[in-house]
């Protein structure tokens, strides 16, 4: 078999119906769009338009609030930190910069927040913007220390 002999299986492809190409095609003249009106013309996008009636997305009640200046933290779990320590990608001193260098997080964003998911067995010193109470307890239980350098500890705990 040669490259120029390759073909799709029989019936695998179907040619598109060419509309507006004369009466013999079965889709000539108005091309299946009916007669006149906005939708028979090109360049019409009527998503969500209900003929002047109040659209559904406007009739439904709005809920909640999106804080425009909320902080976005890079989240790291203790289990992943332990995995990277075992792989030799992180040392005993862990900072936000070392987490980025090791590839555990892509970027720092508004800071790094450590969560308690997973187990930490190594004695490490971690310095980050925020941490959950469970994460602080787990690090101290393993014999290490977790320092939170965030603007306020309460702000980091809320995130």
pLDDT of residue 44: 82
For 74-158, CATH number? Answer: 3.100.10.10
What are the residue boundaries of the structural domains of the chain, listed by start?
A: 74-158
Q: Is the pLDDT of residue 157 over 90?
A: no
| DSSP H or E stretch at residue 56 | helix 56-59
**Cα 67 from Cα 111, distance rounded (Å):** 18
Burial classification of residue 149, based on how many CB atoms lie within 10 Å of its CB (0-12 exposed, 13-18 middle, 19 or more buried): middle
pTM for this entry: 0.56
Give me 101's structure tokens. Answer: 């260098």
Q: What is the pLDDT of residues 105-136, one digit of tens each?
A: 999 989 999 999 999 999 999 999 999 999 99
| DSSP H or E stretch at residue 29 | none
Kindly report the number of other CB atoms within 10 A of residue 42's CB atom: 5
Q: Are strands 130-131 and 125-128 parallel, antiparallel or unpaired?
A: unpaired
Q: What is the pLDDT of residues 49-97, one digit of tens each?
A: 888 899 999 999 999 999 999 999 999 999 999 999 999 998 889 999 9
Separation of first and last alpha carbons in the chain: 61
**Cα 40 from Cα 37, distance rounded (Å):** 6
**Cα 23 from Cα 27, distance rounded (Å):** 7
């Amino acid at each position: 078999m040669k490259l120029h002999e390759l073909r799709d299986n029989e019936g695998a492809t179907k040619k598109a119906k060419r509309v507006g190409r004369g009466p013999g095609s079965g889709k000539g003249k108005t091309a299946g769009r009916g007669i006149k009106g906005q939708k028979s013309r090109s360049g019409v996008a009527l998503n969500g338009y209900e003929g002047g009636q109040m659209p559904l997305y406007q009739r439904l009640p709005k809920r909640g609030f999106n804080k425009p200046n909320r902080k976005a933290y890079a989240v790291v779990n203790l289990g992943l930190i332990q995995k990277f320590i075992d792989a030799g990608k992180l040392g005993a001193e862990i900072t936000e910069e070392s987490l980025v260098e090791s590839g555990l997080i892509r970027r720092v964003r508004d800071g790094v927040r450590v969560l308690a998911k997973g187990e930490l067995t190594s004695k490490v010193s971690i310095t980050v913007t925020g941490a959950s109470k469970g994460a602080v307890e787990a690090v101290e239980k393993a014999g290490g220390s977790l320092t939170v350098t965030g603007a306020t500890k309460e702000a980091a705990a809320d995130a």
